Structure 1
Amino acid sequence: MAYLHRDPTPDDYKPKGGIEDVRQDKRRNTRPTGPKGGIEDVTRTKKSTNEESESAKEYKLVVAAIDFGTTYSGYAYSFRDELGADFSRVTCKTWKSNRSKASTISQKTPTSVLLNQAGEFVAFGFEAEEKYEELANDNLHGDFRFFRRFKMKLHNNAGLTRESTLVDDQGNEMRAIDVFAHAIRYMKEHLTESLRKTKYEIREKEIAWVITIPAIWDPKSKQFMREAAEQGGILDNQLQFALEPEAASVYLKEVPVERTQTVTKEAALRAFPPGTKYLVLDLGGGTIDITARMVVDDRTLRELHHATGNNHGGNSINDQIFNYLEKLLGSNVMCEFKNNTDYTSAYLDLDMEIETKKRAVQNELEKQKFMSLTIPAQLLELFEDKNDMDLETHLKLKNERNVTLKSGKLRLDFVLVSKFFRTSLDAIIGDTQRVLQHKDCQDITKIMLVGGFAESKIVSTAIKKAFEHIANIKVVIPPEPGLAVLKGAVIYRHWPEVVSYRKCPHTYGSRLMRYFLKDFDDQSKLKMVRGQPVCLDVFGKFVTIDTEFETNQTCDSLEVFPLRPDDTEMTVFIYKTDAEDARYVTDDGCTYLGKIKVDMPDTTGGLDRKVILTLTLGQTEIVVKGKHWPNGTEATVEFDWLS
C-alpha cells in the first residue's frame, strides 16, 4: 500500500536534482555505552513497548551462545564476571559420537533432528543420526521424521513464510519453523542443564542468549530464526543475534592469534593492535561469509566493507561428489538408492563417508594421489541389477582414467577430486578479490580463515596461493578455527558495542506515491487520485548501500500519512536493492522485503495526521520505532517480513 500526504502538489514533491521523497534528515548518534564489565541488551522489538525495554536491562549473570550451523551446531557459555576479566574463559560443550567402533569426541554435533510421526521431539545431533540409523537397519524408520542440514532453507528463502515446510529424509513435509524450534529448544535446555551443574544457582531470566546467523541473511530469515527461537523457549527480549563473521572478528581481535617477536627473539602470540585491518573468511558448511574490519583505538571494530558472501560452503563439495556418482552410476541408480527406504541406512553411511573423506583431502604439495570412498555393498548390488554387469566391468568398458574400483572402494584421483572443489574455491576467491579491491580494503594485511571448512587443507592452500603473493597480505588460520564463531559470539553478547561501526549491506527504501513528474516519470506509473496526477511504485530511498552507521545510530526518518481521513493504520512496504539508487520498486534488482504496520487510531486530524518512523541499521537487525506528530507520543509499530 502506498501513502500520500494530503492532496499532492508539485511544490510538495518537486525533486532537487533528482527524485527525493519529502523527509528531513534526522540522523543522530544515539549509541549508548553499557555498564563497565556488564551486559546491556540492545533492544530489538516487534512492538515498541516500555515493558520490553525495561526487562531488557535486567541483570544477566551468564552469556549463552548457540552456533546453529548448516552441518554442525554447538553451544558455549561464560559467566559474566569471569568473561569480563578474561575473554578466553569460554566453556564449549563437547559431544560424543558412537557411530564408529571407537567413540569420538567433538565440540560440534550434527544439525540433525529426529521426530516421531506426530512431530514430537525424539533426538538431536549424533544421537539423532545414530537412532535413525538403528531404526533404518531394522526397517522401523518409516514412522519417524529425520531432518538434517536444513538451515540453508533460510538462505534460499524465496517465498519464506511461517508456513514454509521442510522435506525430511523420506519425502514427508513438516513446518520448517517447528523443526528449527525443536533444534533450538534442545540446545537451550541442554545448555541450561549444564549450567545447573555448576556452583552457581542460575535462573533462566539471568541468561543473556545469542544465536549465530550468517551475515548475508536478509531480515526475512532473521525474523524467522527469532520466532523459531521464541517458540523454542528463548524469550524475545533476552535474545540477540551475532553475525557469524562478525563474531569471529571479535574473537580474533581479543584472543592472541598473531605471532610476533619478543625481546628474546622468541615467537609469541598477541592480539591485534589498534590500526590492524583484516578480512575474515567464515567458511561454513552452507554459506561463505566475508567481512572486513579494522581495530580502532578504543579496541572496538569498524566495518570496512558490508558483509558479503555466497552459498558455496563445504556442503557444496558433497553435492559435487554425489553429482559425479550420479553421472558415473546412472541417475536411475542413485535416485532409487537415495529415495527407496530399503537403502536408507546404506545411503546415510555413504553420506558420512563422503563428509569424512572430503575433510581429509590434502593438497597437491602433499602428493595425495587419490580419495578412497567405501561404496556400500547395497549400492554395488543395485547398480549390477540395473545394468547386468558389475561396476568394475562398467568402469573398464567406459575407459575411466580418473577412477578405479578395488575391494569395494572407489578411488578418485587427485585431478578429479580437485575439480569437486573448483566451483567453491572460485566463488570464495572471486568474492574475496572484489572486497579487497574496495577503496577502504586495499591496505588489508591479513586474511583470517575460520569455520569448519577452513580446516580443509586443499581449501586453505588454494586461498594462500591466491592472495599471499599480494604485498603485505598474510593468510592465517587461527587456533580452533571451527570454534571462532561460537566463542566470538559469547564475547560479542557480553559487549555488543565492540562493533562500533557497520556498513549498510543494501540500499533500502519504501514503496510510495508522489506527484507525477511530466517528462520524467514513466507513463505506465500515472494514476489520478482526487483529481491529481500521481506516480505509483516510487522507490523512496532512506539509506544507501555502504553507508556507515555507528551502533544504534538511526537513518533518515520516514513520514507516514493516511490514505483516507478515517484510516486507523497504515502499511509501509520495504524494498532493497544493491544499486545506489532506484526510481521504482519494479526496477530490476529491487526485491520486496516485508511490511511495517503503523497504528494511527486517532482519526481527529484526518489527512493531516502523520507518524514519523526511524529505522536503526547499525545493529544486527533492523529496528523500527515511530512517534505521532506533532505530540511526539510513541506509536505502535509492527514489522513483518514473513507475510
Structure 2
Amino acid sequence: MLRLATFMIVDCGGGTVDLTTRNIVGKDVGEITERSGDYCGSSFVDQAFLEHLKTILGHFAIDKLKENHYKQLQYMVQKFCRQAKFLFTGEDRNFKYELDILDTARELQQYVTGDAKELMESKQWLININYNEIKSMFDLVVKRILKLIEVQLENCNKECSIMFLVGGFSQSIYLQKKIREKFKDVVKIITLPTHPIASVVRGATLYGLGLYDNVNNIDSDVRLKLTTRILKFTYGIKIFDKWKKSDPIERKTPKGEIIKFLPIEGATKGKEVKIDEDVIVDNLLGPNNPFQTAATFHVYYTREANAKYCDEPGMEYLGKLKINLPDVHLGYNRPLKFGLSFGRMEIKATARYTINGQSRLTTFEIDIEDD
C-alpha cells in the first residue's frame, strides 16, 4: 500500500508546545517518533514581559500588584498581547510598545518606591519598550521551540514532508518566520491552517469520533484511524529472582532472592507498537513458591534505558493485576503469561494461566503518555 507524506504537528499553546510526527498508509495513521513537548508556550513571553517590568519598577511592585490586584495585572498583560505580542513580526526595527501605567494598572504606582518612583514620575508613568527588548522576550521561548522541532526531525531522520503549525501561539508571525528560516531546507511545506486554534479542537473531535467508532465497532469510510504508537516509556513487571554473587548484597532478601524490574522486550521506550496488539513477556513466569494460590503482577514504567530495580530513581508504578493459581499439586509447574496492549486512550494488562486458559484483564489510564 502506498505510504503518503510524513507530517509533523507542532501544537503551540499557551503553556506548552507539543510535537508529534506521523505518516499515513491508506486510512491508517501511524506514529513515527515519540511525542515530545516542553513548557515554552506563549505564556512564557508574557512572563518575560513581567520580568522586564520588574527590572524597571521593582520585583516588589509587580508581586504586590499580582497579589492584591490580579485583574489589573491580567489586563496589563492582555493589552501587551494585543498591542505588542500579536503584532510583533521582527521585521520593523522601529517597532515599540508604550505602556501607560495610569491607564492600564493604576494601582501599580502605589507599590513603586525609591529611584524607580522618581523615574516613573518624571516619565508620567509611561514605559517605552523598544524592538530589542520585545525581541528578547520572544527569543528564549522561540529558541526552545526550535530545539524541540530539531530533535524531533532528527528522530525521524529528517523525513518530514509537511509541518502543520497549530494552536494559539502559532499565529505569531515572528515564531512562524523563525521556524521557516531554520527548517525550510529540511521540510518541504511548513503551513498554518486558516484557523489554527480551531484546528486543535477539530482534531480532538475527529479523534473522539474515531474512538467512538472503535468502541462501537463502526467501520467508517471517512475517518483516518490511528494504528501505531511510539512508546515514551519502558514498561515491565516486578519479579523475584534468585540472588547471585554478582548482585548487590544489600538487595538480598532473607529468602535469598532479589527483587528486580523485568522490562517487556516489545514495550520499551522508542518502540513502535500496534494499537490494541498484545506485547507478551518472553520470559517464563510462574509462582514464587509451590503452594501459592494466586499471583499478582505489579507493572512499572520508566524513561531510563537500563533500569534494573523497581525502586530506583525515575521508576513509576502503573498498577497491578491479580490472577488465581489453582492446581497447587503441580507446585512450580504452573506457567503464566503476561502482556500489555496499548490502546488509543488506555493500557490493558492481561495475565493468563496457560494450563486451563484462565485469564484476567485490567485497564490503566494513559495520562502518563502525555507528560
Pick the TM interval, shorter chain: 0.7 to 0.9
1:419-430 equivalences under 5 Å are 419-430=136-147
Match of 2:209 in 1: 494
Q: Secondary structure at the match of 1:492?
A: helix
**In structure 2, do the counterparts of structure 1 residues 638 and 479 end up closer, same or farther at CA, with 3 Å as the change threshold?**
closer
SS of the residue aligned with 1:289?
strand
Secondary structure, in 3 states, of the residue corresponding to 1:489? helix
SS of 2:30's equivalent in the other structure is strand
Partner of 1:634: 359
Inter-CA distance 360–635: structure 2 relative to 1 (3 Å threshold): same
Counterpart of 2:262?
A: 540
Partner of 2:91: 365
2:88 alignment partner, SS class: coil
2:215 is matched with none
1:463 CA drift (Å): 1.0
Change (3 A) 1:381 1:563: farther
1:418 pairs with 2:135:
yes
1:570 to 273, 276, 296: 296
Call closer, same or farther: CA 1:294–1:428 in 2, change over 3 Å.
same
CA distance in 2, matches of 1:593, 1:368: 55
Alpha-carbon spacing, 1:302–1:455, altered in 2? closer, same or farther (3 Å): same
Give distance in 2, aligned partners of 1:491 and 1:389: 53
SS in structure 2 at match of 1:337 = helix
Partner of 1:517: 244
Aligned residue in 1 for 2:78: 352
State the shift of 1:307 in Å: 0.7
Tell me if 1:474 matches 2:189.
yes
Counterparts of 1:173-572 in structure 2, within 5 Å, are 274-296=3-25, 298-340=26-68, 343-357=69-83, 359-367=85-93, 369-375=95-101, 376-383=105-112, 386-387=113-114, 390=117, 392-393=119-120, 408-438=125-155, 440-468=156-184, 470-471=185-186, 473-496=188-211, 498-519=225-246, 521-529=247-255, 533-536=256-259, 538-542=260-264, 543-557=267-281, 559=285, 561=287, 565=291, 570=296, 572=298
Given that residues 298 and 319 in structure 2 are in contact (C-alpha distance below 8 angstroms), is that contact kept between their aligned partners in structure 1?
yes
**Residue 557 of structure 1, CA deviation:** 3.5
2:208 partner amino acid: R
Rounded to whole Å, the distance in 2 between the matches of 1:327 and 1:622 is 49
Structure 1: gaps of 5 or more residues: 1-272, 397-404
Match of 1:617 in 2: 342
Q: How has the CA–CA distance of structure 1 residues 640 and 550 changed in structure 2, closer, same or farther, with 3 Å as cutoff?
A: closer
Percent identity between the aligned chains?
A: 17
Secondary structure of the residue aligned to 1:518 is: coil
Residues 303 and 598 of structure 1: CA distance in aligned 2, closer, same or farther (over 3 Å): same
Distance 1:535 1:630, change over 3 A: same
2:253 aligns to what SS in structure 1? strand
How much has 1:610 moved relative to structure 2? 6.6
Instruction: Tell me, in whole angstroms, the C-alpha distance in 2 between the residues paired with 1:348 and 1:535.
Output: 56
Shift of 1:541: 0.4
Distance in structure 1 (CA, Å) of the matches to 2:354 and 2:82: 61
Aligned residue for 1:364, secondary structure, equals coil
Deviations 1:295-343 (A, max 9, x none): 21x1322211111111111112222222222333222222222112xx2
Cα distance in structure 2, aligned partners of 1:414 and 1:563: 73
Opposite residue 437 of structure 1, the aligned amino acid is: E
Q: CA deviation at 1:638?
A: 6.1
Question: Structure 2 CA distance, aligned partners of 1:307 and 1:525?
Answer: 35
Q: Secondary structure at the match of 1:509?
A: strand
Name the CA distance, whole Å, in 1 between partners of 2:100 and 2:304: 46
**What's the offset of the Cα at 1:381?**
2.9
Matched to 1:365, the amino acid is: E
Q: For residue 10 of structure 2, give the secondary structure of its aligned residue in structure 1.
A: strand
- Structure 2: distance between partners of 1:275 and 1:409: 55
Change (3 A) 1:545 1:474: same
Q: Provide closer, same or farther for how the CA distance between residues 527 and 302 of structure 1 changes in structure 2, counting only shifts above 3 A.
A: same
What is the deviation of 1:389? Answer: 6.1
Question: What secondary structure sits across from 1:305 in the alignment?
Answer: coil
SS at match of 1:390: helix
Instruction: Provide closer, same or farther for how the CA distance between residues 478 and 561 of structure 1 changes in structure 2, counting only shifts above 3 A.
Output: farther
- Inter-partner Cα distance in structure 1 for 2:350 and 2:296: 14
Which of 582, 592, 606 aligns to 2:316? It is: 592
**How has the CA–CA distance of structure 1 residues 332 and 428 changed in structure 2, closer, same or farther, with 3 Å as cutoff?**
same
> How large is the Cα RMSD of the aligned pairs?
3.1
Paired amino acid for 1:449: L
User: 1:216 corresponds to which residue?
Assistant: none
Deviations 1:350-392 (A, max 9, x none): 2433443454132222445113334311102321xx3376364
Paired residues in the alignment total 345
CA distance in 1: counterparts of 2:118 and 2:289, whole angstroms: 70
Aligned in 2, Cα 1:639/1:502: closer, same or farther, shift over 3 Å? closer
State the AA in 1 paired with 2:166.
V
The letter for the 2-side match of 1:335 is D
Classify 1:351/1:604 alpha carbon distance in 2 versus 1 (closer, same or farther; 3 Å).
farther
The 1:302–1:636 alpha-carbon spacing in structure 2 relative to 1, beyond 3 Å, is closer
Q: Contact 2:17 / 2:145 at 8 angstroms: preserved in 1? A: yes
Residue 345 of structure 1, CA deviation:
3.3
8 Å CA contact 1:359, 1:455 repeated in 2: no
After superposition, the Cα gap between the structure-2 partners of 1:570 and 1:358, relative to the gap in structure 1 and judged at 3 Å, is: farther
Which digits, 9 at most, give the CA deviation of each residue in 1:591-622, with x for residues without a partner? 3143224254x666386567543211253432
Q: Secondary structure at the match of 1:313?
A: coil
Distance verdict in 2 for CA 1:466–1:553, change over 3 Å: same
Check conservation: 2:236, 2:263, Cα contact below 8 A: yes
Report the alpha carbon displacement of residue 564 of structure 1 after superposing the two structures with TM. 8.9
Q: From the superposition, tell whether residues 459 and 564 of structure 1 become closer, same or farther in structure 2 (CA, over 3 Å).
A: farther
TM-score (norm 1): 0.49
